[in-house]
Amino acid sequence: MLSKLQRLAVTASLAALAAGSAFAQAWPSRPVKVIVPYATGGPADVYARFLAQRLGDQLGQPFVIENKPGAGAVIGTDQVAKSAPDGYTLLLMSNTHTVNETLLANKPYSLTRDFVAVAPINYSDLVLVAHPSVQAANVQQLLKLAKDRPGKLNYASSGTGTPYHMAGELFKSMTGTAIVHVPYKGSSGARTDVIGGQVDLMFDAVTTMAEQVKGGKVKAIGTTGRKRSAVLPDVPTIDESGVPGYEATIWLGLLAPKGTPAAVVTRLNEAVSRIASQPDVQQAWAQQGATAMVMDPAAFDKYLQDDIAKWAKLIRSANIKAD
């Protein structure tokens, strides 16, 4: 027999579950804001807008994108961390966030303390490109050039801690080369200056740089996945080009403020997973060089933790500092 106190606890738990379920069924009853802490035009912004349209169609309320770039994604992320945990403010995150957990020790939030994992979206390989004036057409030639001229070559990124930056630092660490990092406030400016010849190199998402490669505006040195990109099948991976074990991607996901009702998180996860599992979506993304990711919230939370640990190891071993 349950004691009176135990019966009250069970009743309270059941009432809370019922309230959470009712809230989730009613949610969303007004527009949902998705904060993208990056500038417009990059992969995060493009896929955020695609996902927002599909989520709005599925859930019956607009999902409105707000770009809040700045400070290595900290400004927009902090805004979401301080938002009400009611399911009406979400964060479009990338692996910049898992890097920043170690790289930016004094940021005003913590992923594990202030957010709950909702769902992954997709990942894309990167491609290392060079302006045509750089006297290297493949990884081995680039390594020779970098070692013959230490500190003379440079590479652009969309900012400190971004996947483009960390791909470059991983490359430098694994090859023992001295290549200067040139951070920008967004990927568009970095991309423009590599194409224009103001900067020598860039690691960029295959999804956005492939057309520039095909148009001859930049040279593809190597891709960053474990296998060749279907979008650039003639470009060898960096791994197969003499840097064994090299791998770097850009991946995207959704987070919500800590305390967001579990039933809402589950409903959101199911909606995102349905979109990412649709054959037409997977086909369209594959043609762009992106691969859909589908996980439940618990699996995505573990993925986040593992990625934080991966980049923490590199940052500490290579003594990488925020610019």
Domain residues of the chain, as ranges? Answer: 29-123+250-317, 125-223
Indicate whether 81 pLDDT > 90: yes
Q: Which two tokens stand for residue 121?
A: 């979206």
Q: How confident is the model at residue 161 (pLDDT cuts 50, 70, 90)?
A: confident
Give the right CATH number for 125-223 from 3.40.50.300, 3.60.70.12, 3.40.190.10, 3.40.50.10490: 3.40.190.10
- Mean pLDDT (whole number) for 178-193: 92
Of 229, 251, 31, 15, nearest in space to 129 by CA: 229
The Cα–Cα gap between 64 and 71 comes to 22
Q: What angle do CA 59, 61, 64 make, to 5 degrees?
A: 115
Amino acid at 282: Q
**CATH code for 29-123+250-317?**
3.40.190.150
- Please provide residue 300's backbone torsions phi and psi, each rounded to the nearest 5 degrees: -70, -35
Percent of the chain with pLDDT over 90: 81
Long-range contacts of 268-274 (CB under 8 A, 24+ apart): 268/87, 268/90, 268/118, 268/119, 269/118, 269/119, 269/296, 269/297, 269/300, 271/55, 271/58, 271/59, 272/51, 272/55, 272/118, 272/119, 272/121, 273/119, 274/58
Tokens of 241: 């080009």
Least confident of 15-19, 145-149, 247-251: 15-19
pLDDT (tens digit per residue) in 109-144:
999 999 999 999 999 999 999 999 999 999 999 999
Name, in order, each residue with C-beta under 8 angstroms of 64's C-beta and a sequence gap of 6 or more.
Answer: 31, 32, 33, 34, 52
Residue 3: the pLDDT is 61
Residue 18 confidence (pLDDT): 47
Q: Work out the angle at residue 302's Cα, subtended by the Cα atoms of residues 53 and 293, and round it to the nearest 5 degrees.
A: 35
Q: Considering the chain, what percentage of its residues have pLDDT values greater than 70? A: 92
| CA–CA gap between residue 294 and residue 18 (Å, rounded) | 27
- pLDDT at residue 322 in the model: 81
Cis peptide before 28 (omega within 30 of 0): yes
Per-residue pLDDT band for 209 (boundaries 50, 70, 90) equals: very high
Q: Tell me the pTM.
A: 0.83
Q: 229-270 pLDDT, tens per residue?
A: 999 999 999 999 999 999 999 999 999 999 999 999 999 999
Question: 3-state class of 42 per DSSP?
Answer: coil
Rounded CA separation 19/27 (Å): 12
Task: Provide the CA 218 distance to its chain's centre, in angstroms.
Answer: 24
Q: What residues are paired with 98 via a beta bridge?
A: none
Q: Among residues 29, 90, 127, which one has the least CA distance to residue 268?
A: 90
Residue 101, pLDDT score? 95
pLDDT given at position 4 = 67
Residue 206, amino acid: V
> pLDDT grade, residue 182 (50/70/90)?
very high
- Do 159 and 189 contact (CB within 8 A), yes or no? no
User: Is the fold of 29-123+250-317 the same as that of 125-223?
Assistant: yes
Whether residue 5 is predicted with pLDDT greater than 70 in this model: the reply is no
Q: Please say if the pLDDT value at position 308 is more than 60.
A: yes
pLDDT (0 to 100) of residue 16: 46
